[in-house]
């Protein structure tokens, strides 16, 4: 079953949780609200507090990543494991290049270094920019670079896939599909057969048959 826009919004909002939390922490810290906490706990110096905050954000974000990706893909994985889905062969495969992730990393890191979060206005502007970026991702069905996949054990590849024998492909090369495939397996053998379900656009979740 194809994902709608709602599932993509869930995916991308979850992906930016670490950034949201760091921006909110820096805003609260600029108001010196943590100063009162440090006065209560004498040993809680600024570096220790920041370390605790960063570790908490990382653990919470990873936990949310796992929950969201398992929830979003649960039905698709069950269908594939129960034999529901189209059978494909993989003709060609390669990993995504680091350049594919450049825009996401840019939108993740730029707000952290370019704005002073002592201002509520700056915080609001950053949230609006990230919201606009998420809308662009969703409108273009651009989920292949979402960090929820590679941080939760999935692997994303560019591939040529086909439902037809090679003889048919030689007669009509257009039956081959240029796709993005998502798999739990790190190494995919071109001699194996796979079952796939389309998530969005040309992006497929696959399992080995």
Strand, coil or helix: 89: strand
Cα–Cα dist 198/179, whole Å: 10
What the block records as the tokens of 192 is 């194996």
List 94's β-bridge partners, or say none: 158
Helix (H), strand (E) at residue 6: helix 5-15
What the block records as the tokens of 145 is 């670079």
Note the pLDDT tens digit of each residue in 73-129: 999 999 898 888 889 999 999 998 888 888 888 888 777 776 666 778 888 888 888
Mean of per-residue pLDDT scores for the chain:
87
**Cβ–Cβ contacts within 10 Å for residue 68, how many?**
19
What the block records as the tokens of 40 is 């209560």
Strand, coil or helix: 19: helix
| pTM of this structure | 0.86
Note the pLDDT tens digit of each residue in 23-72: 888 888 777 766 555 555 555 666 777 788 889 999 999 999 999 999 99
Phi, psi (deg, nearest 5) at residue 98? -55, -30
């Amino acid at each position: 079953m194809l994902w709608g826009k709602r599932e993509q919004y869930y995916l991308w909002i979850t992906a930016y949780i670490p950034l949201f939390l760091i921006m909110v922490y820096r805003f609260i810290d600029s108001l010196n609200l943590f100063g009162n906490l440090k006065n209560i706990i004498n040993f809680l110096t600024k570096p220790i507090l920041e370390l605790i905050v960063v570790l908490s954000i990382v653990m919470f974000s990873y936990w949310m990543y796992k929950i969201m990706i398992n929830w979003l893909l649960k039905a698709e994985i069950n269908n594939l494991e129960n034999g529901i889905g189209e059978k494909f062969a993989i003709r060609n495969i390669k990993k995504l290049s680091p350049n594919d992730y450049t825009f996401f990393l840019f939108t993740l890191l730029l707000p952290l270094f370019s704005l002073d979060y002592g201002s509520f206005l700056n915080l609001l502007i950053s949230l609006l920019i990230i919201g606009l970026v998420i809308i662009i991702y969703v409108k273009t069905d651009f989920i292949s670079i979402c960090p929820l996949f590679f941080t939760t054990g999935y692997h994303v590849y560019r591939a040529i896939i086909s439902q037809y024998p090679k003889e048919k492909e030689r007669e009509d090369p257009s039956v081959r599909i240029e796709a993005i495939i998502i798999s739990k397996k790190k190494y995919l053998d071109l001699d194996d057969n796979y079952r796939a379900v389309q998530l969005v656009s040309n992006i497929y979740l696959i399992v080995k048959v």
